[in-house]
Structure 1
């Protein structure tokens, strides 16, 4: 049984000139423990697919099953609980709160839990150590480099111990060395058991993943072969 199963999934957006199909009859299975890249040019539908997989964007038609749960059949409150339990998100722009320290930013997903404050703080400190920022827990985002802010975002995504990490172009704004450091961290987390699904347009990032799928014009296709 795959961890994630996408069945005949389509997504259309209504615009002034009618409907635009972002995804067309997508079928995909992702096993637990994979590090999967979603590749494709700008506008191909890869970020739309990622948002649907993460429970953030209901499809127009089709089904999404995660751990055999029909995700979009859940009531809104249960869907929010599901996302909190199963998934973590890493965005290209980090989305850190500027007036909170690294530690406080990482603690944010724990705020809605019943865990005592001391336990929340210890969990956040543990994951900051895991991503190499154990000595910068009290820094504000503007006191951290871009790569360090990205690591805070990753720590925030994994603090609640989700099963799946969704990352949308996480290396897009990073220099090559920082990008490699980030991908190495992802690889380590994947080897520790996390399933990771990463949107990327960078062919070099394929060196770090266990599998890749390619999207063009909303349709899954084979990875193009280099000439």
Structure 2
């Protein structure tokens, strides 16, 4: 199984280690590709809308494309972000902002509708669920059909400080999560995703686009009629 990991931090803390635990149970080292934010994409979206007209016009296209190419080739995506003030890290949020054209209201990518994804977060206290929620929302609107999450209070500021009994629990939890992902070969798109996609198609038919380019994008793929990205083989 090919896995692409997007880490919302440069350092290898508790969240990173849990993400690697999961990845290592599912794939060999040479099947895992990792990116660290902000190291591998240190930019904020400027709201210039150049990507709506042409994705290659994004000022950060080259750096972003390296990551999205790896995501496209992967069978599974793993996002890790520690809780920062009851939300994901700024670098993770910046990455999600730079991916906004992948949302179903805009120009979703067909390959997203075949992916499996995990979102992992830790906190010294409370807040891991809040960090996860933001990332899961983006993944859903990208069209990812199978998303699981894991958040835990580690009661420590780094992995070395996590108590041994908690590490044992985390390892058991990752075993369970890995079995769930290994069991799913090709995830099915749920009714909620299909409904949102249908609503977006109606919107584009009615001319409710950010740009004419979006309608053309949907029209070329037959999505304004009966074609659907999850039916592609």
Q: Which has the higher contact order (CA 8 A, sep 6+)?
A: 1
Interval of TM-score (by shorter of Structure 1 and Structure 2): 0.3 to 0.5
TM-score (normalised: structure 1): 0.34
TM-score (normalised: structure 2): 0.34
Bigger proportion of residues as helix: 2
Bigger proportion of residues as strand: 1
